[in-house]
Structure 1
């Protein structure tokens, strides 16, 4: 039996033991895992340094190395995420609906764990912690397949999590990490019907589309992020600059960072040099339309392919548009239904943008960088769903549950 199938079978075998643990048991394990991360910080950093060195030798870009890199502060943040999950209400067992039928049947709809969740992700070892913590709190077993770039970091984190589970009296095999970094291990996971209940991919567009197009196991599609900020004619200039620079440069390697800035032509005429200088200071390379390059000669020429690219880097497309409708048309053509923003003091334009733009998160006068489970108060997140069925946007605890109907009768039969 292959490693992938063997570990999926182990997770499935132990999943029933996890499904109806008490909230206290799950929280105790989460807190133990948080403590294990802090205690094991040096071990994690050592493993991470090996991953970073391999990445540098393989020519990994600076932005991807940033996604991969761990620091004591980032590890402390991961531990804090687990503690926050422990503090959140446990959705499992929540009564969603109660029905009493004329024939005397009493029907209760309750939240229950999904079962066994497969998560396929790339070079972000914090996902190992987030996924393990959220799945534990919701009573789901999990099969993790991280990217090869973070293999040593993920192995060490999983080891520490296993120690915490055992210390809390829970079966460690409810969390499984695939070590095989071959592409075939991903393809095998996609076909594990009967062992995996759902697969959630986290990573770039090519990974997500490969999973969506090839899986026979149900998939929750998460977020390739070609995100836009539209600066309207009435925007406050200082606010517009702050939001735009933050959306691009605060951490460009993540999916909620902005890839294209749309600027209304009248605003551009007065403030494009101010925007250009701010992005230059932030170290951002600009690629602009012809009208943009007339105002910012240092910008490179932008192409249609650029508008369809998720850079995850210090590169930004800039396009001058006539107004709101042209901006929304551009977003409809190139957006990935992740996060979109309008900066405006015009309430009518804001309302149209919020209501008409089709995305999981739509902002008025705030950076797209807030599309995040931690920022939304969910604790850690399993991903940001860009689809519309089952879950959408940052996926916190309720998104990792299903429902079950419990029916109590007194001998009723159907005529």
Structure 2
């Protein structure tokens, strides 16, 4: 199993002994994952039984998980970790129950493997079927969000993939506890513990080992901040799916139901400011009455949000206590209780601003004028476009997919929340009766 790793020595590579050992561990685990991926596929009933048992085990061993998580939080605070990252890292009993609930939802979803995407009978009698198949060995690189560990396992298992999980050092103890529980459940169901594996996280170099393991790893999916995503996408020789950052905008048109817009903007910004579907910029129609615009902005301030915008514009609306915006603010994914504010010239101005600054994640409009809505939805290019609803809805669970592997902002293979079908490829099965090609 470790033939790839056995060739790596400090002398042959010029690496330090520690670095060579780390690289050898990544490749050894990738080799094992490749072998596990070639086992006969599991029946849907077996997959579902494992998922339900894993959900029960996580809840039953909550105290063990939270003790490990406390170690990570304490270490993070000692290193001065930002509170928005602490929030992503933190687990409690309710969050563990929510993670377990995600596995139960995945168990209830249809198994995509073997689904016929399309098919036909050719004039010469050939029967052609395109069916869904697993991607194979799936590398995940992610930051301080231990829930991703379980989400990735659940979606990978149901879609027939074998996950290699490279979480961040900041969640080392939490991830180890979670993977240990999942492996115990797999073993109890007669499956290899290596059906899910956690990769070393001592150095950033282990990420490079994973994303360049061609022939062992079939796909790599980064999930985290812009720096991590860019490093994986630009450095990978393994095919990568980009799960982009979320610079999400909410445009309030002059025709909007103002109280509805207030509720949606505040929800999008404050529900969980640290996540990628949080609203980061509010665009106000210049034709919106001053009182209505002020109502939106003061509601944000009352919810503890700091406004970043043109101070003269905000002062003209009777809104103080803001921070002067710079060009950085129009592209910043804050992840905190901060929001950029800009007055634009109608829906055309909103679309133009979004085109310049979108990350292609989620964009939203509040309007009752159907012409405004149509212009916005026709001209805004994003993975999800929301009409009179919060940007916070862009989420695999909320879309009915169960847990999600991430929000893809690219256009090839998958776009938007990635559930089970997005974790499959296809193959053609062509059945004949002795036909030869002339």
Q: Same fold (TM over 0.5)?
A: yes
After superposition, residues 276-291 of structure 1 pair within 5 angstroms as: 276-289=297-310, 290-291=312-313
C-alpha distance in 2, partners of 1:99/1:240? 48
Q: Is the aligned partner of 1:65 residue 2:100?
A: no
**Residue 119 (structure 1) aligns with:** 140
- Corresponding position of 1:179: 200
Deviation at 1:102, TM superposition (A): 2.5
Within 5 Å, give how 1:22-61 maps onto structure 2. 22-61=43-82
**Hey, what's the Cα distance between the residues in 2 that align with 1:271 and 1:101?**
62
Contact persistence 2:65–2:174 (CA under 8 A): yes
The answer on 1:292 being equivalent to 2:314 is: yes
* 1:333 equivalent in alignment to 2:356: yes
Matching residue of 2:34: 12
Q: Give 1:411 deviation, angstroms.
A: 2.4
What's 2:411 paired with?
A: 388
Give distance in 2, aligned partners of 1:408 and 1:344: 53
- Unaligned runs of 5+ residues in structure 1 are none
Tell me by how many angstroms 1:180 deviates: 2.6
**Other-structure match for 1:379:** 402
Q: CA–CA distance in 2 between the matches of 1:258 and 1:70?
A: 23
TM-score with structure 2 length normalisation?
0.93
Matched, 1:195 2:216: yes
Q: CA deviation at 1:189?
A: 1.1
Aligned mates of 1:257, 1:241 — CA distance in 2: 15
The 8 Å contact of residues 36 and 195 in structure 2, kept in 1 or not, is answered as yes
Local SS of the residue matching 1:266:
coil
Partner of 1:98: 119
Aligned to 1:404: 427
Residue matched to 1:364: 387
Q: For the Cα contact (< 8 Å) 2:168–2:201, is it kept in 1?
A: no
Residue 293 of structure 1 contacts residue 300 of structure 1 at CA under 8 Å; is this kept in 2?
no
2 CA distance for matches of 1:125 and 1:108?
Answer: 39
In 1, the alpha carbon distance for the partners of 2:79 and 2:201 equals 19
CA contact (8 A) 1:105 1:409 kept: yes
Alpha-carbon distance in 1 for matches of 2:405, 2:197: 16
Inter-partner Cα distance in structure 2 for 1:293 and 1:33: 55
Query: Could you tell me which of 25, 35, 42 is aligned with 1:3?
Result: 25
Q: Matched residue of 1:118: which SS?
A: strand
Partners of 1:42 and 1:131 lie apart in 2 by 22
Offset, 1:268: 5.4
| In structure 2, C-alpha distance between the alignment counterparts of 1:182 and 1:328, rounded to whole Å | 42
- Asked if the contact 2:274–2:335 (Cα under 8 Å) also holds between the matched residues in 1, the reply is yes
* Alignment-derived partner of residue 305 in structure 1: 328
Residue matched to 1:253:
274
Uncovered stretches (5+) of structure 2, i.e. residues with no partner? 6-23
Q: Within 2, Cα distance between the matches of 1:384 and 1:293? A: 37
Shift of 1:127: 0.2
Is contact 1:292-1:319 (8 Å) kept? Answer: no
By how many angstroms is 1:302 displaced?
0.5
CA distance in 1 between partners of 2:186 and 2:288 (Å): 56
Q: Distance in 1 between matches of 2:54 and 2:47?
A: 11
> The residue matched to 1:112 in structure 2 has which SS?
strand
Instruction: Give the corresponding residue for 1:86.
Output: 107
Find the residue that maps to 1:216 and give its secondary structure.
coil
* Cα distance change of structure 1 residues 271 and 72 upon mapping to structure 2, 3 Å threshold: same
CA distance in 2, matches of 1:273, 1:104: 69
Runs of 4+ in 1 over 4 A off after TM superposition: none
Decide whether the 8 Å contact of 1:32 with 1:168 is kept in 2.
Answer: no
- Please report the RMSD computed on the Cα atoms of aligned residues, expressed in angstroms: 1.1
**1:266, 1:297 → 2: CA distance?**
21
Indicate if the aligned counterparts of 2:251 and 2:283 stay in contact, CA closer than 8 A.
yes
